[in-house]
Structure 1
């Protein structure tokens, strides 16, 4: 690897770490960077997952104030992501190329719309006497599906998860974001452990993404604490819609 490649991938890792902890869109930066580095799509995806696992370390160090006193509630959710993240990794290596990517834009677009109109949906549910599930079977089934998707492809899994957490709770954006980062970290770690045995990541590139990811994910939550909730949520949703459109156009090609 050349010095230019290392520098570019570390920079992409910093950008991915920032986007991961603020918006859940890490792969918007790191995945294209790995493709530009010359890796084929599946190898780039495996390498991206392995590299972004380290972002959870920076996020954990930076979001301790938000997570204090909540670990008892959080551990079962982390366990779901640890188990189903490896299921997603297995699906990635076992399924025909391109099969799952066709529905990815619709998942991301739908999650972005949920995030964008969260307040309106919650108000509508309240007027109809219906409650969005805060826990229970439906809540955890959705978490398992997101975890599987995160282990398989991962692009904007954070947007999907953040949309669901904010839709099903009244917690702050900063807390939901910290919770999201821990769960996605578990999913990425379990998928990476699966790839250690059966996948073929480019470990040099993954290390560069990891180093940058730790830096970016440590800075991201500190920035988010100082940002107003609604504008940030809207920007995340718009970015997610943009990514959905791009991925949809890619499937047409």
Structure 2
């Protein structure tokens, strides 16, 4: 891998970290960048998962204290445990299941999460009656983390939609929680990929550096954006990703 390739990955990592934190769509930047510098689809997928762990580390280092103070350590630990278990299952599926297992359903899952974001105020009242649903939250965190550990494009959108539908978290804190849980799911998957998967370590180092800085820069950016406009923008971008996944 050349110096030019590594430079491209650092830049792509920063954009993926920032855009991924703000919109939940990091992989739409990072995964094509890895393919562009010559990695095959499987190597790009596992390398992408390992590198994106840095987004969660960066964003939690910047704003994690606020999340812990708001949720409490036990609630955050339960959510993290569900993400950990789901990420492990997703990583196992990627390593042992035939290629394309999720190819048919993934665009529909991402589209559903995106539409849920767009109509979130009404949908939250219909689903949860305006109150928190902790058991439903943990079940869904596990399910989304399975997908996050398997491939992950659009998993951030699903986490944000889930947080806004079944918890009372405001959008800025939902974004921090999304980044944290996705980082955990990616992290446990990354451990499996480090042992059994074709990880390209030079690419991980370059892209991970960019992702770390991008994730750290994400919370201040979100704090300055209008909440409703941001929610709609994430939903629209998610629909675009669903279309891209369906036709690619």
TM-score (norm 1): 0.93
Alignment of 1:152-231 (within 5 A): 152-231=150-229
Distance in 2 between residues matched to 1:125 and 1:182, nearest whole Å: 24
Match of 2:101 in 1: 99
Please list, as runs of the form range in 1=range in 2, the aligned pairs for 1:1-253 lying within 5 A after superposition.
1-69=1-69, 70=71, 71-124=73-126, 130=129, 134-136=133-135, 138-250=136-248
User: Are the equivalent residues in 1 in contact too, given 2:137–2:167 (CA < 8 A)?
Assistant: no
Distance 2:154 2:6 in 1: 24
Q: What's the CA shift for 1:18?
A: 0.5
- Unaligned runs of 5+ residues in structure 1 are none
Secondary structure of the residue that 1:171 maps to in structure 2?
coil
Alpha-carbon offset, residue 102 of structure 1: 1.9
Is the helix fraction higher in 1 or 2? 2
Deviation at 1:103, TM superposition (A): 1.2
Asked if structure 1 preserves the Cα contact closer than 8 Å seen for 2:127 and 2:165, the reply is no
Task: Supply the distance in 2 between the matched residues of 1:189 and 1:31 (Cα, whole angstroms).
Answer: 17
CA deviations on 1:112-168 (whole Å, 9 max, x unpaired) are 000110012134457xxx4665212x3222111101000000001000111011111
How many residue pairs match? The answer is 246
Task: Supply the distance in 1 between the matched residues of 2:180 and 2:62 (Cα, whole angstroms).
Answer: 12
- What stretches of structure 2 of length at least 5 have no aligned partner? none
Runs of 4+ in 1 over 6 A off after TM superposition: none
CA distance in 2, matches of 1:122, 1:247: 27
Asked whether the equivalents of residues 78 and 138 of structure 2 are also in contact (C-alpha less than 8 Å), the reply is: no
DSSP 3-state at the match of 1:53: helix
C-alpha distance in 1 between matches for 2:64 and 2:141: 22
- What is the RMSD computed on CA atoms of the aligned residues? 1.5
Q: Distance in 2 between matches of 1:62 and 1:144?
A: 25
Is contact 1:66-1:178 (8 Å) kept? Answer: no
For the Cα contact (< 8 Å) 2:68–2:76, is it kept in 1?
no
Residues 31 and 132 (structure 1), Cα distance of their counterparts in 2 relative to 1, 3 Å cut: farther
| Per-residue CA distance 1:42-88 (angstroms, 9 max, x = gap) | 11110000001111121112113531413321111001111220110
